[in-house]
Amino acid sequence: MREGKTILEMKKITKSFPGVRALKEVDLALRAGEVHCLVGENGAGKSTLIKIMTGAHTMTSGEMLVNGTPQVLTSPLDGRELGIRAIYQELDLLPTLSVAENIFMEDVPKTKLGLVDWPKMNRKAAELLQMFHVEISPYSLIRDLTVAEQQIVAIVKALSQDSKVLIMDEPSAVLTGSELERLFGIIAELKKQGVAIVYITHRLIEVFEIGDIVTVLRDGENIVTKDIEDVTMEKMIQWMVGREIDEQFYKEKVAIGDVVLEAKNLSVEGMVKEASFELREGEILGLAGLVGAGRTELLKSIFGEYRLNSGTLTIFGEECRFNSPRDAIAKGLGFVPEDRKTEGAVLCRSIEENISLGVLAKKEFKFLVHFPTIFKKAVELANYVKIRCHSLRQEVVTLSGGNQQKTVLAKWLASESQILLLDEPTRGIDVGSKLEFYKFMAELVRNGKSIILVSSELPELMALSDRILVMSNSRIRKEFRAGEATQEQILEHAIPQELREAASS
């Protein structure tokens, strides 16, 4: 069946970091025109493996062959020279440079005189961005873009040069609906051109949508490599976690109490328009919408990151005007941001210290802090969300992507906030840990806390929420009760009016 020529071959790859063996004698072969999916739990070794392919990490032992020739890569430059390119999980864009500058950073278009050809660079960037039909200006600074837009820029950057092997580490984590479809369209196109593609994802359904072959890593070992036709979802999950998982979601019936938060006509210039809703004790309120619908912005305006232009916010019966997140935290609010890298964790500090920051956040008298108690709490929470590490003293930067996300979660859970605003909390988290997290959410609301949940995974949102608000174009368009709406109905309200009109005319 498989005809593509083997482009890249990894043989018995082992990689050790201080205190941990991330990969153990892993074999992997990539063929031209094939999408090779790589799945496994958080910390299984996926990112480490692909970083060895690109030259970003050096292997401890093993061999890598490119077109049959053994190659020793000592830096990403070597990988690039061989046509191996990657879109990493932690995007490697420079926040203070423009979109176009980032895309062409490694291959700047020059004029005949050898100067940077700015018009050409911006024009080419705009052309490339067109593939996604998104309104991202080549002149915008990266730091002004949303996470999803940054992801698109990173993809476009990788596509701006020809590659023989293209590696994508969870590109779909932040994309939804139409952008994801376009990404899949682009992947199909690259396949036709004979590019070998590695695709890492925790949205396992995607493996069946675009994969030709799948490799499951567990504890740094290749458990199985199989053609997609010979794999089922149940089997794949079992290979990943090493046991059977029978339920996907978890939700308890909890008594819903009084209103704890009431928003009336909240507006923030250009971001949120007249949002009105209530949140009750013990309730999980879901926020549905497409990328850019204004869900994150709504959370941030409640959390005091944006100043309200108008409207009122009443929390526990008291009208609040927050000047900063600090005020919101003091009032019992907690926020798990979607961008864990820049907003969530202090990467250069230990897991223990990061989680403890959450405990500290709610302390009014900092000098009364009892550190042993705080660290004990940190250990409990780290175990709870199953952060996979060899020590809690480990720096967060050395954790796998999913485990960094879990650290941010634990930090906010430690703060014992009464009202939690969760922005895509399960992004990048593996199936087994997701289930643990759902159980933890159930425990929180059982204890009288309230949650506003933003999630682009509609099945997740529908299974966990008591009510769902659907947003588009910065406005709340519709409210559904639990079990009342189908995925199609939610999407219908999530797609902006203009687009629907355009589609029907």
Contact 391, 19 (CB under 8 A): yes
User: Which amino acid appears at position 258 of this protein?
Assistant: D
**Rounded (10°) angle between helices 431-446 and 233-241:** 80
Contact 220, 237 (CB under 8 A): no
Whole-angstrom distance, CA of residue 52 vs CA of residue 219: 17
Among 160, 172, 296, 400, binds ligand ATP (CB under 6 A): 400
- Which tokens in the block code for residue 428? 């990048």
* CA terminus-to-terminus distance, the chain: 44
CB of 351 to Mg ion, least distance (A): 17
| Stretch near Mg ion under the rule CB under 5 A, chosen from 86-94, 215-223, 357-365, 449-457 | 86-94
Q: Which is nearer to ligand ATP, 203 or 280 (CB)?
A: 203
Strand 69-70 with 61-66, pairing = antiparallel
Whole-angstrom distance, CA of residue 461 vs CA of residue 425: 11
Residues 103 to 142 in contact with ligand ATP, rule: CB under 6 A:
none
Nearest to 398 by CA among 407, 389, 387, 410: 389
CB of 94 to ligand ATP, least distance (A): 21
User: Is 47 an interacting residue with respect to Mg ion (CB under 5 A)?
Assistant: yes
Among 4, 17, 78, 339, binds ligand ATP (CB under 6 A): 17
User: Is 48 an interacting residue with respect to ligand ATP (CB under 6 A)?
Assistant: yes
Place of tokens 């999913």: 402
Could you say which of ligand ATP, Mg ion, none residue 22 binds, taking C-beta under 5 to 8 angstroms by partner kind?
A: ligand ATP
Could you say which of ligand ATP, Mg ion, none residue 191 binds, taking C-beta under 5 to 8 angstroms by partner kind?
A: none
CB of 451 to ligand ATP, least distance (A): 23
Q: How many CB atoms lie within 10 A of CB 47?
A: 24
Contact 314, 262 (CB under 8 A): yes
User: Is 474 an interacting residue with respect to Mg ion (CB under 5 A)?
Assistant: no
Nearest residue to ligand ATP, scored by beta-carbon proximity: 402
Q: Which is nearer to Mg ion, 405 or 465 (CB)?
A: 405
Q: Which secondary structure element, helix H or strand E, spans residue 77, and what is its range?
A: helix 76-81
User: Is 292 an interacting residue with respect to Mg ion (CB under 5 A)?
Assistant: no
Nearest to 109 by CA among 100, 98, 97, 117: 117
User: Is 403 an interacting residue with respect to ligand ATP (CB under 6 A)?
Assistant: yes
Whole-angstrom distance, CA of residue 141 vs CA of residue 97: 5
Residues 183 to 222 in contact with ligand ATP, rule: CB under 6 A:
none
Residues 332 to 391 in contact with ligand ATP, rule: CB under 6 A:
388
User: Is 399 an interacting residue with respect to ligand ATP (CB under 6 A)?
Assistant: yes
Q: How many CB atoms lie within 10 A of CB 283?
A: 21
Could you say which of Mg ion, ligand ATP, none residue 43 binds, taking C-beta under 5 to 8 angstroms by partner kind?
A: ligand ATP
| Stretch near ligand ATP under the rule CB under 6 A, chosen from 35-43, 252-260, 415-423, 454-462 | 35-43
Among 71, 398, 473, 489, binds ligand ATP (CB under 6 A): 398
Whole-angstrom distance, CA of residue 450 vs CA of residue 467: 12
User: Is 401 an interacting residue with respect to ligand ATP (CB under 6 A)?
Assistant: yes
User: Is 20 an interacting residue with respect to ligand ATP (CB under 6 A)?
Assistant: yes
Whole-angstrom distance, CA of residue 501 vs CA of residue 74: 54
Could you say which of ligand ATP, Mg ion, none residue 48 binds, taking C-beta under 5 to 8 angstroms by partner kind?
A: ligand ATP
Nearest residue to Mg ion, scored by beta-carbon proximity: 47
Contacts of 293 (CB under 8 A, 6+ apart): 471, 472, 473, 474, 494
User: Is 45 an interacting residue with respect to ligand ATP (CB under 6 A)?
Assistant: yes
Among 31, 46, 300, 434, binds ligand ATP (CB under 6 A): 46
User: Is 47 an interacting residue with respect to ligand ATP (CB under 6 A)?
Assistant: yes
Number of amino acids touching Mg ion (CB under 5 A): 4
Q: What are the phi and psi torsion angles at 451 (to 5°)?
A: -135, 135
Q: Which is nearer to ligand ATP, 177 or 432 (CB)?
A: 432
| Stretch near ligand ATP under the rule CB under 6 A, chosen from 36-44, 74-82, 171-179, 371-379 | 36-44
Place of tokens 């940190």: 378
CB of 276 to ligand ATP, least distance (A): 38
- Which residue blocks in 218-343 are alpha helix, DSSP H? 233-241, 295-302, 325-330
**CA-based diameter of the chain, in Å?**
72
Number of amino acids touching ligand ATP (CB under 6 A): 19
Among 33, 401, 425, 496, binds Mg ion (CB under 5 A): 401
- Which tokens in the block code for residue 282? 């013990």
CB of 245 to ligand ATP, least distance (A): 17
Cα of 177 vs its chain's centroid, Å: 15
State the Rg of the chain over Cα.
Answer: 23
Q: Which is nearer to ligand ATP, 45 or 282 (CB)?
A: 45
| Contacting residues toward Mg ion, per CB under 5 A | 47, 89, 400-401
* Interface with ligand ATP (CB under 6 A): 17, 20, 22, 40, 42-48, 89, 388, 398-403
